[in-house]
């Protein structure tokens, strides 16, 4: 068991590794994390929401560690991050996938058409299964007062941690971490530029 507070206060890549096997709970469901991604702050990481400057959306990333940064994307999906690093320096770990270890019936009721393996296989699926949305954004993950709660798990042995490029972003820094051999790890996808109206016109 690791000290979660100390882990989250440290470098975001170390925090990401340490979050593998951690448990996140929400709405009666607990997930054991099998895949995460690290994101850094202003000027450090072109793919980070905090790369340019602090805004209303990313403000919680600039605050103290141990809070949830939950954002809405693609017009329909919520994704959950754990804020890391010291206050004033933006960093967060995106929770990409995991295995449902408590509340499988509730999890299935939230994603009725999903196989058990796919219940939390992907960041938006994970958020759905936990019932996480705007109501969790900015809430503490450690004090038990908010809708989500984070707890340390068994430390993953270094030889079981796999490292590779992050999913769906332009930059190819190897800041994605997952547990080798876990069926709940999501499939890698390269960033694809969607067809724009201008493309359509030509």
Partner DNA sequence: AGTAGGATAATCT
Partner DNA sequence: GATTATCCTACTG
Chain positions contacting DNA, by CB under 7 A: 37, 39, 47-50, 52, 55-58, 61, 69, 71-77, 79, 81, 92, 94, 111, 113-114, 118, 122-126, 166-170, 186, 189, 192-198
With respect to DNA, which residue has the nearer C-beta, 73 or 154? Answer: 73
Least distance CB 176 / DNA (angstroms): 10
Least distance CB 1 / DNA (angstroms): 26
Contact between residue 108 and residue 178 where contact means Cβ atoms under 8 Å apart: no
SS (H, E, C) the chain: CCCHHHHHHCCHHHHHHHHCCCEEEECCEEEEEEEEEEECCCCCCCCCCCCCCCCCCCHHHHCCCCEEEEEEECCCEEEEEEECCCCCCCCEEEEEEEEEEECHHHHHHHCCCCCCCCCCECHHHHHHHHCCCHHHCCCECCCCCCCEEEECCCCCCHHHEEEECCCCCCCCCCCEEEECCCCCCCCCCCCCCCCCHHHHHC
With respect to DNA, which residue has the nearer C-beta, 5 or 170? Answer: 170
CA-based radius of gyration for the chain: 16
Least distance CB 69 / DNA (angstroms): 7
Least distance CB 177 / DNA (angstroms): 13
With respect to DNA, which residue has the nearer C-beta, 39 or 156? Answer: 39
With respect to DNA, which residue has the nearer C-beta, 124 or 161? Answer: 124
With respect to DNA, which residue has the nearer C-beta, 5 or 57? Answer: 57
Least distance CB 127 / DNA (angstroms): 8
Least distance CB 15 / DNA (angstroms): 13
């Amino acid at each position: 068991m690791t000290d979660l507070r100390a882990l989250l206060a440290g470098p975001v890549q170390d925090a990401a590794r340490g979050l593998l096997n951690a448990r996140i709970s929400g709405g009666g469901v607990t997930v054991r994390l099998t895949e995460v991604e690290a994101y850094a702050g202003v000027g450090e990481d072109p793919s980070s929401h905090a790369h340019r400057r602090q805004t209303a959306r990313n403000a919680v990333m600039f605050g103290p560690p141990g809070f949830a940064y939950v954002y809405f994307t693609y017009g329909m999906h919520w994704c959950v991050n754990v804020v890391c690093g010291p206050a004033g320096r933006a960093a967060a770990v995106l929770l990409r996938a995991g295995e449902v270890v408590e509340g499988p019936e509730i999890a299935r009721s939230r994603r009725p058409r999903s196989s058990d393996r796919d219940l939390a296989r992907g960041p938006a699926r994970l958020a759905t299964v936990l019932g996480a949305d705007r109501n969790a954004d900015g809430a503490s993950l450690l004090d038990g007062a908010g809708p989500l709660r984070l707890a340390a798990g068994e430390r993953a042995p270094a030889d079981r941690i796999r490292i590779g490029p992050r999913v769906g972003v332009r930059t190819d820094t190897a800041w994605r971490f997952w547990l080798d051999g876990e069926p709940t790890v999501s499939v890698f996808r390269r960033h694809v530029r969607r067809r724009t109206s201008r493309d359509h016109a030509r």
